Amino acid sequence: MGAVSHSIALALTLWGAAALAASPPATQTHSAAQDLDYGEGLYHYYQGDFAQALTTLELANQRGGMSGHGHYPQLMRAGMYLAYGMTERARAEFSAHLGQGEPEPVRDTAHYYLARLSYQARDYAAARQHLQAVGEALPPHLSDESALLAVHLRIQQSGAPSLATAAPLLEPLADNRYLALLNLGNSAARGGDPIRAQSYYRAMLDEDAPEDEARVDEYLAIRDKVYTALGYSYLEQRDYASAKAAFRGVRLDTSLANRALLGYGWAAASYHDYVLALKPWQALRQRSLLDPAVQESLIAVPWAYEQIDSTGAALGAYRESELLLTAELAELDAALARMSGSELLAHLNDAESHPSLQWGDTHSRQNWLSLDQVSVLQSDLTYLDELLISDDFQARVQNLRDLLGLADKLQQWQNKLVIYTQLWEDKRQRRVERAAQLQQQQTLQQPAALGAAHREQRQRLQTLAQERNAMALATGDTAKLWLRLQRAEQSFSQLQGQQNLPPDTAAKLQLYRGILRWRAHEQFAHNLWQVQKPLTTAEATLAEADERATRIQSLLQSEPDIDAGLAALNRLSARNDRELAALRQAIQERGNALADTLSEHLSNHRVRLNDYLAQTRLSIARLLDDAYRADPPSDGPQLPEVQP
């Protein structure tokens, strides 16, 4: 289901982006997302990092959601969950869009994907219900997917109808019409109705090739499959001429050509034209021995020689087949011996040597099945083709790969958390040291002491202002002359009574005192303002310093930020360790299970090759026995007579 889910998600992405005028076709224009979180989610998604994309959207959701895009971010998130193999979560998210007054395109899209999910879960009744609820607002390319889903649903529920009554099913189909006709034909063939199957196959062959060049390869691949299936269907009905004609329609340079060549040979052999049968079989024999059809030709060619009584050629072909099969079995055994869960995981983990396992863009991830580039499987690729392309296997590999990616993320977190914890421990240590330093220098007490001094200064100034003590605030020449006057008055008082003192000394001193006092009073207001100004400025600074000191004191005493941070770090570290261990265990289990599946598949092929080898050896023995009986050696040992 993984690949299916990925294709769904891709389709959803295309639709969602189109709805935002950010659609993918090269001919259309794009617009950046209007919500940064949504845009970031898209950025990770388009680079194939589904886990980071989902984390980003979940983060945005937890922080209040995303704006500017209506329902689309939620719809995209549901699609991303689907792409990430989280089908239950995707189902819940798609369901949440219904019955909320959603726009019609959103409703129809949600119903369509719910139908797909139900179909994948084999809940066909629910799938039908959702499909019937899809209205007319489904985007065009999803309409085609929806029509194909309706066909598949019909096949699962009641098999293929007759071509004549299938018109309502086929009419809405566009690009998927070829595939629908092939699957309907195959369904009829499985149901034992080759006539009905052939009608579908022929209907597909009557269809015109697509005009879009990008779809031609897909069309040709489906046409090859149809020709092959049609050929075998005719063969089953013993209509050998039609079978041969159908097989001739298959292109020779495709993987399906082997099966068609084999069928063509059997069609010829069926009406005893063994010479004609030998032509495709011998051509087939030149191809890769890893293909089951080629392996079958190892038996078919000598068998045909036998039918035309060319015993020598038959014996030679059987012996050649024996050698080839023996060599192939040895390679298979070597591959089986190498297969283990650990080795598989080592290759999956080794992104450098296997670029296909790195995070790629959406498209390359979707086609990831690059296990063919994993060396342990390289030689066995064709044996594993059938297994590798199965949805179940793809889903298991995709899950394993997702888990490996998540484990890698959590491993990175584990490393980061150690560093963060150390950072915060260092911060705590620095705080302790700083606190000791502050204590020693009494730094935190200094704002309070300075505040007290400031208050005292303010009080003194207030007293001077009330007393209008102008001389206390006098500055410049006035202050200097006042000091000189005071010294002169002191000297005058000491010299009083002496005869050589000028008689008007006291009067002059009195005059000078008056002048200076007058001058000081003149400057009093200015001088008072000059002293008050820095005091006022210092007051705000001191208050701020005091507040900061109090806050620091409180922090030093309680350390709430560091403690809370460290506690959160420890909690998440423990959770990370637990989840990482669980992921690693799950990865190991799934790796082993995957390796077991691969081994089992290879073992089944081994059984098949062994059967071919046994048949070959029996045929060799039978031919030798016939030759011996026809012309026994006259002087050699005689075979004992078998008594009845």
Partner 1 sequence: MAGPASQEDTMIRTLLLLALCLVCLPAGAQSDPAADAQTLKQRALELNRDLLILEEELLYPPSSQIALYLSMDVAEYFALDAVKVKIDDTFVTSELYTDNQVDALIRGGVQKLYLGNIKSGAHEISAFFTGEGPQGQPYKRAASLQVEKTTAPLVLELKIVDSTAKLQPVFEIKQWEL
Alpha carbon 132 to its chain centroid, in Å, reads 32
Single residue of 204, 277, 374, 395 touching partner 1 by CB under 8 A: 395
Segment contacting partner 1 by CB under 8 A, of 49-57, 324-332, 522-530, 545-553: 49-57
> How far is the C-alpha of 131 from the C-alpha of 113, rounded, in Å?
9
Is there a contact between 267 and 276 (Cβ–Cβ < 8 Å)?
A: no
Closest contact distance (angstroms) between CB of 519 and partner 1 is 47
Min CB(123)–partner 1 separation in Å: 11
Is 141 within 8 Å of 109 (Cβ atoms)? no
Contacts with partner 1, 446-475, as mask; x by CB under 8 A: ------------------------------
Cβ closest to partner 1, residue 105 vs residue 265: 265
Q: Which of residues 154-183 bind partner 1 (CB under 8 A)?
A: 179, 182-183
Q: How far is the CB of 538 from partner 1 (least distance, A)?
A: 24
Rounded to 10°, the helix 216-236/256-270 angle is 20
Closest CA to 470 of 395, 527, 411: 527
Smallest separation, CB 609 to partner 1 (Å) = 14
Which 3 state secondary structure label does DSSP give 160? coil
Find the part of the chain contacting partner 1 (CB under 8 A) among 30-38, 136-144, 209-217, 365-373: 30-38
Q: Which of 104, 212, 309, 391 binds partner 1 (CB under 8 A)?
A: 391
Cβ at position 83, least distance to partner 1 in Å: 12
Residue 189, interface with partner 1 (CB under 8 A)? yes
Three-state SS for 529? Answer: helix
30 scored as a contact of partner 1 (CB under 8 A): yes
Q: Does 22 bind partner 1 (CB under 8 A)?
A: yes
Alpha-carbon distance 434 to 447, whole Å? 17
Least distance (Å) from partner 1 to the CB of residue 440?
Answer: 29
Pick one of 10, 96, 98, 121: the residue that binds partner 1 (CB under 8 A): 121
Among 95, 120, 340, 592, binds partner 1 (CB under 8 A): 120
Task: Provide the H-helix boundaries in 271-390.
Answer: 274-285, 292-307, 311-338, 341-349, 362-366, 375-378, 381-388
Shortest spacing between CB 444 and partner 1, in angstroms: 23
The nearer residue to partner 1, 325 or 395, going by C-beta atoms, is: 395
Give the span between the Cα atoms of 103 and 112, in whole angstroms.
14
Q: What are phi and psi of 193, to 5 degrees?
A: -120, 80
Give the one residue of 29, 286, 440, 643 binding partner 1; rule: CB under 8 A. 29
Q: Does 215 bind partner 1 (CB under 8 A)?
A: no
Residue with tokens 């052939």: 198
Q: How far apart are CA 440 and CA 433, in angstroms?
A: 11
- Total residue length of the chain: 644
Site membership for partner 1, residue 77 (CB under 8 A): no
Residues 589-618 touching partner 1, rule: CB under 8 A, are 590
Residue of 104, 157, 190, 436 interacting with partner 1 (CB under 8 A): 190
Window of 367-375, 387-395, 510-518, 594-602 that interacts with partner 1 by CB under 8 A = 387-395
Size of the site for partner 1 (CB under 8 A): 95
Residue 201 binding partner 1, by CB under 8 A = no
CB of 52 to partner 1, least distance (A): 8
- According to the binding rule CB under 8 A, does residue 409 interact with partner 1? yes
- Positive or negative torsion for Cα 268, 274, 277, 281: positive
431/452 Cα distance (integer angstroms):
28
- Binding to partner 1 (CB under 8 A) within 557-586 occurs at 565, 568-569, 572, 575-576, 579, 582-583, 586
- For residue 552, which of 542, 541, 560 has the smallest C-alpha distance? 560
CA dihedral angle for residue 367, residue 369, residue 373, residue 374, rounded to 10 degrees: 150
- Contact positions with partner 1 (CB under 8 A) in 620-639: none
Give 138's contacts (C-beta < 8 A, 6+ positions apart). Answer: 105, 108, 109, 112, 146
Asked if 11 and 21 count as a contact pair (C-beta separation under 8 A), the reply is no
Please identify, among the stretches 116-124, 316-324, 501-509, 625-633, the one whose residues bind partner 1 according to the rule CB under 8 A: 116-124
